[in-house]
Structure formats: C-alpha cells, structure tokens
Chain A
Amino acid sequence: MFVLPPPPRYPVSQPTSSPNGVPVQNPLVEMSNVLTHPSGSEYQLSVGEGTYFLQDNLHLATPPPHPQDAPVTNPNPLATTPAPPKAGIKLSMCITSPRKSIPSLYRQAAPSTGSNLGTYSIKEHEKESRSSHDTSSDGATAQFASSSTSGRTPIFGEDNSALTPIAGKEGVKRKKPKTSLVKSNSQFISRVIPHDQLSKRLQEHNAEGIFVFANIDRAYQWLDLSSPAPARAQPLMKILFAKAHMLCHDINAFTKGPSHIDVIMGASTGDIVWFEAYSQKYVRVNKNNIISPSAISSIRWLPGSENLFLASHMDGTLIVYDKERDDAAFVPETHSTPPNTHIPNGNGTTTDTDPHPLHINKSVNSKNQKSNPVASWKISNHRILAFAFSPDNRNLAVVSEDGSLRLINYLKEQLTDLYTSYYGAFTCVTFSPDGKYVLTGGQDDLVSIWSIVERRIVARCPGHYSWVTAVAFDPWRCDNRNYRFGSVGEDRRLLLWDFNVGMLRRPKAASIRNRDRASISSCAPISRNRTESTQVPVGRLRSTSSLSEGPVGEDELIEHEVESRTVTATLPPVMSKVIDEHPLSWVGFEEECIVTACGEGHVRVWRRPVDVVGAGDG
C-alpha cells in the first residue's frame, strides 16, 4: 500500500525550508541494521502442525534523507503538499542452489512430502527447462529452448519474429549489465556500500541459504540470511538512491544461479533498475521517464523469460520491458483504441462502450520491436497496486485501487474476468501454486479466494482487523486438495488459513455453517440467480487488433457482480496473532521459515516447527 503518489518532480525548494531543525544529517553517518533474537510466548506462532519460533528479528536501518532531497517537514497537518512517497518493505528472496532453486510456486509440483497426485504438465515442463538450463551452463537461449521443448505453454511473444533474434544471438554466458554500481557517478545513485568482505562472504555463502533483497526508504539492501549471526545483520551490499525510492523488486527465478542474480527494481520516480548482484552492475530502464513518468507499484520478471519483465505503473498501465533493449520515446501504436490519455490529438479514436477494456497501446505482436517497451497495456486510469502471474504462465491477475481484480490472458492480451471487491481497494494478489485460485487482500479487511476455473468468488475470509497488505501461499503446506496461505495487514497481524477444496466446493453448505439460521434459506434462490448471472457474459471484450477474431466462450470478458455476503462462504483463520509493533507490509514462505516485514524496517524470520522440517529437508 502506498501512502501517496510520488511527486513527479521534487520540490526545488532546498533544505532551507526545514526551519524547525530536523538537521540535515550527514549521509556518511548511518545507522546499521540490528539483529536481535527476542524470545517468549509472544514470539511464537502456534498452529496445528506445531509452533513457529521467531528466529531472527532484523531491523533494517532507515537511511537518512538525501542531502539534496531533505524532505520539507511541514508542521501544518493540513498542508496539501504531498508527502514523500513511502512504501512498506517488500522482500525478494532466493536460494541460488540449483537443487533448491525451484521457486516456491512450482515446488509444489513435486512436493517431497508425498501426496502429489496431480502434478501439472506445466510444472514438469518447468523442471525440464530448468535442468536444461543448469546443464547447458547458462545458455542464454534457454528461454527459447524451453519454448521449443514445451508444446503446451507458449512463451510470451513467441509468435513475433521481431522479438526472437535479439535474445537469441547472444553468447553463452548470461548477460550482465554494463555499468558498475561502485564506479558509477550517476546522480541517480547516491552511494553504494558493499560489505568489507563481500567476496569472502559470498564465497562462504551456503548455496542453500536464502538471499534477501529488501527496499527500505531510499535504500536497497542485499542480505544473506544464512550468514553467521553477527554478520547476518550486515548487508552484502547497500545501495542508496538519490531521489528514487524503490517500491518493488523481483528476482529472476529463471536466470538465478550460484554466480548470477538478476534483480529488477521499480521506483517511485518511474525509473527501473536492472541490477545483477554478483557483478554489482546495473542498467537503467525507462531512464528519464522516457517511456512512462508514472511510479511503479509492482514489477516482475515474466516467468521463464530471461529478459522480459512486466511493470505496473501507477497510472494504470502495464508495460513489458526487455532488459536488453534500448528505450525509445513511446507513442502508443494506434492499431487499436488508444486510451485517450497519451495523445491529445491521436487519430483513429474509435468509440467504445466498454468502460473496462484492456487498451493495447502496443501489442507484443507489433513488428516494431527495436526498442522498449515490448508491449504496453492500459487497463484503467486507476492506480494498479499489485499483480501476479499464474503458474501456467498464461494469466495475469491485476488489482487496482478502484477495487477491481482483472484476470488477463497476457499471451493473448485479453481481459477475461473483472471482479470487484466487497468494498474498497484491493491491495495485494497472488496465485495458488496450482494456479486454480487467486487470493486477494483489500481494504475491506478481507482475504478473498477466487476460483479461476469456476470463474467466481469462492470464499471471503474475515479475520483481519484492518486492511490486508500482503497474501502468500505456503507451497510447502499445499497439496492439490488443501491449501495453506498467510496474510498480513495493517493490524500488525499475521493470519494463517487452511482451506480445502471439498469444503469450498460447497459454498452454500459452508455459508449455512458460517452464517446463521433461516435467513439463508430465503436467500438461496438469489444465490442461484447470482451464480447464473455471473455466467452470463455481460459485455464482450472489445476485439483487439490481430486477435480480433478471437474465439468466444473462454475469451469472453465477464464482469462479475459482487456477491452478497449472505451467500458467500466465509473461512476463519487457523492462526491470528499480532507479530509486530508496526503495520506489516510483506509475508513470504520459505521451506524452513515464514518471513514477514513491516513498514518500519523489521524483517522477522519465523522458523517452522522442527518435526515438519525433517520431511522438508529430505
């Protein structure tokens, strides 16, 4: 959740305007991270499978403001000037070991714990491609190798010949960015602080240990959670940016390896940084906002792609970039309806009756692929707050401030489903490991479960006492019938939930169980009507460019109604606990731990119950 949009331009007024003596601190004086190990019952989570203990409480240092960018502290609470942008800490975690490198989403495909009846073709394919990549010593063509080995999952943009050659002609080695961070004299980067013994620490790094990348304020830290205790608190590298605050980042699960981690970051200023951790080099994308001036709320590598990543800009645009491509000033290509915003006098504007279309500013099938962006889609003018890729690499779930959840088949560039929150904005979204369900959290204090297959809401999960800020599945505790997920919120709580397919298939029964008494029976007919009506396509997706002859049925846009809570199943949490003093901003699951982060810089690692770890380690 972002408190305020970043100002497109920073006030020119200089530190003189901090009269009340917030001293402009010397950036050289910097607090360092603090690692503590609090214990006691308030640092334990008791769930059915056992007790989680707080292993590490790592407090990341908030950097002082940049000297040239000292925020004007305004004592007037009514000041209408925008506050500097602030986003809670988000983490990107990875384990570089090839054996363990399987991202959690796919991990479930072959869970070591047994009970894997239905493995999905997609995942087998993923494993294949991954092993091929491991053996072929990081062939840069792995992406396309995988696309050729896979008959089932098409790769984004594979039909476009304009996209293929650039990626294909590169050498054997993974490409690294060009500019050295340390030597850079860019105004964009304020300081880079590598650890004194960076190389030593990297050498000693346990390949199975977890690397964590974290944004806090204008700093970006690279941490090793497997280092021995005193050093663990100290980042391997800390980057301080001048003006930009990194709001989101992602590790390329496809390219990561023992000597290579591709990180992509999106900033409050709209800038994007591709950063390779081992070489400490970087490249800037969307430099000087040449493509979009809008802040980036979420950014992710396209699954299975070495070069492509998707960024959601706060003006409601989704843009696919290629880290290898140069930027060029972007004018929406007019082969489809432009979104009315970019070109004041754009011609070819057609009328459109659909208020929620997916405007394709540039299709991935465009022949003009000399420069970024690779594709650009405008979904609305409302701020996109998060998005997630489905494990089958076909769908994209996007949530926005207007309380909409959009499912987009990004391979076909089509909007297929539009759901609305019970009320308020959606703030976070994630796919289940098997891709059957989507979870959202929002300002209605609810986690909502949506079925992709049945195309409807499955359950609402009340339990938070404030807005939900992050949701994540625990793939180590999911099989194809039972799902475990966790959510954190502004109420400082971590909630764990178990849901079960059988139960969810019977929402009415569930609702009777959860709602009380007779009123339900009178509502039942309504429920049926509603479910029917959701199946009726309300509006067809406007045909889009080359895909205009797209088939009916599956690709048809369905605008779903909001279901009354009297007919929707509810799910209670299995665990709910206040785990921090500050509103939480992130939660993630690893094989051995749950990791949470709060807005004020506390990263907490919760060790899983010991007896279960044995199974996981095997």
Chain B
Amino acid sequence: MASFFNRMRSSAGPSSQSSGLSPAKKDPNALQITPLEKFLLDAPPGPLREDGSDKFWGLENFGNTCYCNSILQCLYYSVPFREQVINYPKRTPLEAVTTTSTGQSRIDPNATILPPNHPSLTPARLVKQQPQGPSSARTAGGPTTTPKPEDKEHPEYKKRVAQARGPTISMTHDNTAAYGMPESLFTSLKDIFEALLAHKSNVGVVSPNKFLEVLKRENEMFRSAMHQDAHEFLNLLLNEVVANVEAHSKTLVDEEEERQKGMNCSVDKTEFEQALASAMPKVAPGNTGWVHELFEGTLTSETKCLTCENVSQRDEAFLDLSVDLDEHSSVTACLRKFSEEEMLCERNKFHCDRCGGLQEAEKRMKVKRLPKILALHLKRFKYTEDLQRLQKLFHRVVYPYHLRLFNTTDDAEDPDRLYELYAVVVHIGGGPYHGHYISIIKTQDRGWLLFDDEMVEPVDKSYVQNFFGDRPGLACAYVLFYQETILEAVKREQDAESLAAAAKAAAEVSKEPVGLGLKTNGFMNGIHHVKSVVTPATPTTEETNGYTSLDKVVTETSPLVEPPPQSPNEVTALPQIPASEMPTEDVKSKKERAKEEKERRAIARISARQEEKAEKERRKNLENKRKEMSKKADEDTRAAIEASKASKVEEDHRVAFENGTREAPKEGHSGPLGGLSRLKSTSKSFRKPRIFSREAGREEPVADADEDVASPTGQENAERPERSRHRFSGLRKRGSNMKLL
C-alpha cells in the first residue's frame, strides 16, 4: 500500500494536475487536486465572502453520522437559514470564533491546503478510515463487495483524500460565551457555521465533534452509533433551534428590560463590527421566529361530519411535509394524494362537536400557508405488517426542479407560489436500519455539489435527477428541499446558465492557446463536467499570476458592460455584449448572478404589472443603447482592449484593497452595481407582510395531536411508534382561529 502511494507521488509531474476531473484516467495522481479544487480553480472565487456562500467544506463522519452531515449541509446552504443562524443573536466578531476564551488560537484561518507531499498525506492516514457500514450499502448494488482501496472513483478513497488534504477544523470547543447563550444544539450549529465563515480556505473538512456531543447528550435516541433517520434528525434539529432561540430571547428580553436601551444590544461595537452589520441584513435580537418564518407552513384540515354535514376546520403548523409514495409517481402526485379526501370511519371516527359523538366523517388536508422553504419528506420507510418492521420502498418517484403546490386551500395566499429545488438528501441502502446519506445541494453560484461526508464534488445539474429510486445502487431521494422563488428569478438563472455554458465553452477555447497548466482533459471528456453554473471570474490577488490571460479577458469589457441600474430584473443586462470577446459572459453572468442572489433573497411577490412597466421602459432604453453600441462595435472592440488594461489594474487595486480591509460588501467582487441598494430596500419591504404570519405560527401550542383528527403524521406515528417522540413537535403548535388573510 505504502509503496503504491509513494510511487504515485514520485511520478507527480505537471501533467498530473490534469487528472482533476477524470481521475479514472490512467494518471494515478488524482491525489494532487480534487475535482472540487479543480472546479474552484477554474473560476477563482474572488475575495472571501462574509456570507459564507463560497465555503464548500466536507463534514467528518464519526461512524454513522452521515444523517447529521447531510442535513447540516442542506441547512448551511439554505441561505436565509444560514444568515439567521449567523446573525442571531448578533454577528459574532471574527476573533471570538478563531480564538478560545484563553486567547489561544483555535483554528488557523490562514491554514492552506496541504501540499501534495505533505507528511499528513501518508498512506496510513489515507487508509485510516476503513469503510464502515455505509460502504456495504454502496456496493450492494453490484457484485463487487470490497473495492480496492486505491480505486480512485470510490467514495471512501475520495473522502480520505479530502480529509488528508485538509484543512480541517475540529469543532471541539464551544463559543457559547460570545453568543451569551447556554450550550445547545443551536450554539454548536452556529459554531460550525461561524468557523466555516471565518476560515480562509474555501474547502476543507469540519469535524462536528461538539455538535454530535450535544446531540447525543440531549437526545437519547441519537446516542447509539446506529444508523439514524435523516428526516427525524432534521425535524429534531429545527425544533431544537426554535427552542434554543426562544429560550435565549426570553432571557434577552428580561435583560433588555433592565437595560432599558432602545439601541442595539451590543454597545461596544467595533468599527469592524459595524461594517459587518451594515453588510448583513440586520436581525433584531428579539426576532426569534425565523425558523418558523422559513420552514413553517400551515395545514388546514377540513373535516366534514357525514351525519350533520358540519364542516370543521383546524389549522396546524408544519415544518416539513411527509408524503406517502406510490409506484411510478411524481412529487406533485404525492402532494395531491396527501390532500385527497380520507374517510374517518370504524375505529377512526371523528368526534363531531355538533352531533356530540363519534361520527363518520370526510377529512382532507390542504396547505393554507405555504412555507418559504418547503422540506418534503418522501416516506420511503414504511412499516410492513408481514415483516413486522420498516421496509424501504424503492418506488420511482420523480421530482422536478421546480414545483408549485396544487393542494392549497382556496383562500391560501399566493397559491401559485413557485418553488425551486435546491437540496436533495439521498439515502443509499437497502433498508431503513442501515445505509448512508448524502446530499446534493445547489449553491448560490457554483451550481450543484455533491456532499458525501468529507467529500465535496461538483456535479452536473442532471445528476440531481439520478435518484428517483429506480436505478441500481439503492440510492433514492429521501428529503427534498424546495425554496420559494419567482419565475423571473428562474428565467434569469436559466439565462445565466445558458450564458455560463456558452462562456465556459468560449473560455475553453480562449484558454487553450495560452496553455495554462491547469487545462484538463476533463472538459473534453464528458459534458457532465461542463458545469452549468456561472463562474465568478474576478481574480484574487493571489491567483492573478496563474491567470493573467483570463484576467485580461474577464476585465477588459467591464467598463462597457454597465448593468442597467435600478432594474430589479436584469434580463436586459444580459446580451448587452458590446465587443466580440466571449469571456465577457463571465462578467455579465456573474453580475446577473449576484443580482439574482439578491433578488432571490428578497423573494417577493411584486405586482406583475409594475414589473412589466419597468421592464418595458428599461427595454426601450436599452434598445437605444444597443443601437448605438452596435454601430460602433468595432471601435468598441478596440477600445475594450485598451480599457481592459486599465481596468485590470483598477480591478487588481480594488481587489487588493478589499482584501486588505475586508470591508467589501458581500457582492463587492461583482463590481459596482448601482441597483443593489435599491434591491436591498425592496427586499425588506417584501419581507414585511410575512411577519404577522409568523406570529400566527406561534399560537398557543395544543398539548397533543388529537386522536379523532388524524394529523398528517398520524400514520407515521403508527408506523414508528418508538420514534415519534421527537417528530413533529412543530406540528403540535396549532391555532384554531387563525386569520391569515
């Protein structure tokens, strides 16, 4: 074994880097650079962002903790959730994250990726982690049971490489003092998020020791090293976060009263903090309902007594929807079925208030208030009477990239709300008691990534739809995360994807003659590697050297490409290509992407009318502009090249400046955008109307689920009595007289 790796390293040459995307090729030096690093290098991420959207870290598996890892990753990339976690109770100063209370340095934010022949990359280290339970599941689909450890396509190998390459953060400490909160799942979650944000590396591996410790300490059922249910964990975590935050805010309110200060709770803000605060959306310390606001929706169960025809309604809140599956169905159909009428009869009769007795009744559940983030749990684990245990269903259930809900009530607000799929938790394995979880997540500007414990790998968009359940390999989507969006944002994104693809192709062509060392044959090799994502191409100062040629093309047209200011939908910004250089796509699409991020964060129901008007005007303007520009396209080309040189210098300066001061606004890398400020303010106003619905969600909790009105989880409870304890605590909150509209 050792000799194998030694040989590998000794033969490392410049060409070895080309193995990044196609490690299966004869080149044995895949260790040199992981696909993710390669992917990131192809489009350098620019200065570090404050919002953590450019961090792609794996999570260490401590033995069957993949349920935790997969969910944590999904939550980290639930942008509003991450923001709220980081900003609650207030943004922690960087030093607090990176140093212990005793002043010791906890993690080295400057730790860099280990050079390939770093001592830690010893073969021993690489083999250290023997494939555990999961591996059997992974290979169960094929006859090969024990893949050779040096099989570079094998996930275990990739994980060891990721682990070995580092950097790694071991989350053994807690930072509760800085948050002013007692240690809880929330604080350890926040610790992880903060540590990621503070670290300078884009990639690495986090060991969530503390988090698991707290989890296991406080929850008996997760204490064993057994395989756990990811959905149950998600539900538990969300409820815990709610509880932790609410408990904290209660103490905070008490303190606040004493202090009687209308100002921000943090009096001792440093300049840096203030800069940060201005860059981040502010969260009032008292705002504890954000988990509700994000994940919670309202279900209405209408029960019609068949005796007296009386219809009674009852609202209940949900944090996720668990849907039963049918063979060869779609998520849409499963949701429809969820809301189908159901007879309450025989042992399951309904207690009618009017008739005053148990009666037969018809019941149906509809969604009354749609959540911002719709977590859909596909009930793949079903209790079978014959076997007296849970069994995994391998039904083929298709899920689209976008979704609307058909099963809303007539008075639902925005019944046509559009959702986009952004994360999928996949269960791999033959049954519910063992197996492996991974997640596939759409990142803000890096497209879809596969998170498999320590390993993070870019995947093609179409990869997301490989887990309908009918493919060999026992891998099925288990939890789907959809987030609210609007059609304009989707269109924009699609355009951006198009352009990115085009730009990528063009960039390939333009890069080729330059002969960059990092040019790989991966691109030639399969379209699945051509990422359908926008590639932020603004160079960081460190990387400028390697990418001079790219820098030039990227920046040269930037002075010409002015994003239309004040336009919330940037559609127009897009093909405004003044000159012939293809890579300009990079700049534009990136800007677009930036805007879109903004926009999506601000997701809003804008009056369609207004938009249209604005759009029309904008189009008119741009039409004129375009005409002018096309006239002097040739001059522009020349001018562009000139300008590019100047602008490159400028850009470099700017980047250097930003890096130095670390005060760059989040979107700073995308260049000055006139429209941003306006977008921000609108986004706030968009948020407003949601606040009261949150209040609604926090109505008095009713003690327990009624027996007569089977909750959507009623069956679930029956199926898994031993596990139902933690589930759906969110569901217990209900208000019978809610008026949402």
Cβ 8 A contact of B328, one of A4, A7, A79, A465? A465
- A432 to B699 Cα, complex, angstroms: 53
Most chain B CB neighbours (cut-off 10 Å) among A74, A424, A518, A562? A424
- A79 to B473 Cα, complex, angstroms: 10
Residues of chain A within 8 A (CB-CB) of B524 are 9
B428 touches A565 (CB 8 A): no
Residues of chain B within 8 A (CB-CB) of A614 are none
- The answer to whether the Cβ of B647 comes within 8 Å of any Cβ in the partner chain is no
Cβ 8 A contact of A538, one of B24, B330, B396, B616? B616
- The answer to whether the Cβ of B506 comes within 8 Å of any Cβ in the partner chain is yes
- The answer to whether the Cβ of A445 comes within 8 Å of any Cβ in the partner chain is yes
- The answer to whether the Cβ of A197 comes within 8 Å of any Cβ in the partner chain is no
Q: How many residues of A contact B (CB 8 A)?
A: 76
- The answer to whether the Cβ of B30 comes within 8 Å of any Cβ in the partner chain is no
- A347 to B636 Cα, complex, angstroms: 11
Supposing A339-B502, A351-B630 touch, asked if A80 and B528 sit within 8 A by C-beta, the answer is yes
A344 touches B404 (CB 8 A): no
Residues of chain B within 8 A (CB-CB) of A517 are 410
- A79 to B467 Cα, complex, angstroms: 12
A5 touches B612 (CB 8 A): no
* Count of A-B contacts judged by CB separation below 8 Å: 232
A424 touches B400 (CB 8 A): yes
Q: In terms of DSSP, what is the predominant structure of the interface of chain A?
A: loop
Among B470-517, those with CB < 8 Å from A are 471-475, 487, 491, 494-495, 497-499, 501-502, 505-506, 509-510
- The answer to whether the Cβ of B117 comes within 8 Å of any Cβ in the partner chain is no
A424 touches B576 (CB 8 A): no
B333 touches A466 (CB 8 A): yes
A341 touches B502 (CB 8 A): yes
B330 touches A445 (CB 8 A): yes
Cβ 8 A contact of B332, one of A340, A353, A445? A445
A349 touches B450 (CB 8 A): no
CB proximity of A124 to chain B, nearest CB, Å: 42
Residues of chain B within 8 A (CB-CB) of A76 are 138-139, 142, 153-155, 473
B626 touches A444 (CB 8 A): no
B576 touches A21 (CB 8 A): no
B398 touches A443 (CB 8 A): yes
- A462 to B332 Cα, complex, angstroms: 11
- The answer to whether the Cβ of B462 comes within 8 Å of any Cβ in the partner chain is yes
Residues of chain B within 8 A (CB-CB) of A465 are 326, 328-330, 333
B527 touches A353 (CB 8 A): no
Cβ 8 A contact of A355, one of B459, B574, B609, B625? B574
B525 touches A490 (CB 8 A): no
B142 touches A73 (CB 8 A): yes
Q: How many residues of B contact A (CB 8 A)?
A: 93
A351 touches B629 (CB 8 A): yes
Residues of chain A within 8 A (CB-CB) of B471 are 77
Q: Which A residue's beta carbon lies closest to that of B401? A: A424
Q: Which B residue's beta carbon lies closest to that of A420? A: B487
- A19 to B619 Cα, complex, angstroms: 59
- A224 to B452 Cα, complex, angstroms: 51
Residues of chain B within 8 A (CB-CB) of A80 are 450, 457, 459-460, 463, 528
- The answer to whether the Cβ of B571 comes within 8 Å of any Cβ in the partner chain is yes
A20 touches B143 (CB 8 A): yes
A354 touches B575 (CB 8 A): yes
Cβ 8 A contact of A491, one of B144, B329, B400? B329
B487 touches A565 (CB 8 A): no
Residues of chain A within 8 A (CB-CB) of B332 are 444-445
- The answer to whether the Cβ of B604 comes within 8 Å of any Cβ in the partner chain is no
Most chain B CB neighbours (cut-off 10 Å) among A353, A464, A466? A353
B329 touches A351 (CB 8 A): no
- A465 to B330 Cα, complex, angstroms: 6
CB proximity of A582 to chain B, nearest CB, Å: 8
Supposing A74-B153, A465-B329, A466-B328 touch, asked if A516 and B410 sit within 8 A by C-beta, the answer is yes
- A347 to B580 Cα, complex, angstroms: 5
B509 touches A382 (CB 8 A): no
A340 touches B402 (CB 8 A): no
Residues of chain A within 8 A (CB-CB) of B401 are 424-425
- The answer to whether the Cβ of B633 comes within 8 Å of any Cβ in the partner chain is yes
- The answer to whether the Cβ of B623 comes within 8 Å of any Cβ in the partner chain is yes
Residues of chain B within 8 A (CB-CB) of A444 are 332, 400, 404
B330 touches A350 (CB 8 A): no
- The answer to whether the Cβ of B578 comes within 8 Å of any Cβ in the partner chain is yes
Binary interface encoding of chain B residues 625-641 relative to chain A, with 1 for a CB under 8 A from any of its CBs, else 0: 11001100110010000
- The answer to whether the Cβ of B306 comes within 8 Å of any Cβ in the partner chain is no
Residues of chain B within 8 A (CB-CB) of A220 are none
Interface 9-mer from B79-87, B175-183, B226-234, B411-419: B411-419
- The answer to whether the Cβ of B62 comes within 8 Å of any Cβ in the partner chain is no
- A136 to B404 Cα, complex, angstroms: 56
Most chain B CB neighbours (cut-off 10 Å) among A341, A346, A355, A529? A355
- The answer to whether the Cβ of A48 comes within 8 Å of any Cβ in the partner chain is no
Among B654-694, those with CB < 8 Å from A are none
- A538 to B619 Cα, complex, angstroms: 9
Residues of chain B within 8 A (CB-CB) of A75 are 138-139, 141-144, 147, 472-473
A564 touches B333 (CB 8 A): no
- The answer to whether the Cβ of B579 comes within 8 Å of any Cβ in the partner chain is yes
- The answer to whether the Cβ of A158 comes within 8 Å of any Cβ in the partner chain is no
Residues of chain A within 8 A (CB-CB) of B153 are 74, 76, 79, 81
Residues of chain B within 8 A (CB-CB) of A530 are 608
- A466 to B469 Cα, complex, angstroms: 14
A347 touches B415 (CB 8 A): no
Among A530-563, those with CB < 8 Å from B are 530, 533, 536, 538-539, 561-562
Binary interface encoding of chain A residues 433-465 relative to chain B, with 1 for a CB under 8 A from any of its CBs, else 0: 000000000011100000000000000001011
Q: Which B residue's beta carbon lies closest to that of A73? A: B142
- The answer to whether the Cβ of B383 comes within 8 Å of any Cβ in the partner chain is no
Most chain B CB neighbours (cut-off 10 Å) among A79, A420, A492, A515? A79
- A564 to B414 Cα, complex, angstroms: 9
CB proximity of A41 to chain B, nearest CB, Å: 20
A466 touches B329 (CB 8 A): yes
Supposing A444-B400, A467-B330 touch, asked if A351 and B578 sit within 8 A by C-beta, the answer is yes
B499 touches A340 (CB 8 A): yes
B138 touches A78 (CB 8 A): yes
A423 touches B608 (CB 8 A): no
A345 touches B581 (CB 8 A): yes
Cβ 8 A contact of B505, one of A7, A341, A423, A564? A341
Among A513-534, those with CB < 8 Å from B are 515-519, 529-530, 533
B576 touches A352 (CB 8 A): yes
A536 touches B575 (CB 8 A): no
- The answer to whether the Cβ of B406 comes within 8 Å of any Cβ in the partner chain is yes
Residues of chain A within 8 A (CB-CB) of B396 are 490, 583
Residues of chain B within 8 A (CB-CB) of A32 are none
B622 touches A353 (CB 8 A): yes
B527 touches A351 (CB 8 A): no
B577 touches A20 (CB 8 A): no
- The answer to whether the Cβ of B8 comes within 8 Å of any Cβ in the partner chain is no
- A77 to B463 Cα, complex, angstroms: 11
Q: Which 6 residue pairs of A and B lie closest in terms of their CB atoms, listed nearest first?
A: A77-B473, A75-B142, A381-B498, A424-B400, A77-B475, A350-B630
Given contacts A13-B24, A381-B497, A583-B328, 14 further A-B contacts (CB under 8 A): A7-B527, A75-B143, A77-B472, A340-B506, A344-B509, A345-B582, A353-B626, A380-B498, A425-B400, A467-B400, A491-B333, A518-B410, A539-B619, A561-B608
Name 19 interchain pairs, CB-CB below 8 A, sorted by A. Answer: A75-B139, A77-B471, A78-B138, A79-B153, A80-B450, A80-B528, A81-B526, A340-B506, A345-B582, A353-B574, A353-B619, A353-B622, A420-B487, A443-B398, A516-B410, A529-B609, A533-B609, A539-B615, A583-B328
Give me the interface of B with A, judged by CB distance under 8 Å: 24, 138-139, 141-144, 147, 153-155, 326, 328-330, 332-333, 396, 398, 400-404, 406, 410-411, 415-416, 418-419, 428, 438, 450, 452, 457, 459-460, 462-463, 466-467, 471-475, 487, 491, 494-495, 497-499, 501-502, 505-506, 509-510, 524-528, 571-572, 574-582, 585, 608-609, 612, 615-616, 618-619, 622-623, 625-626, 629-630, 633-634, 637
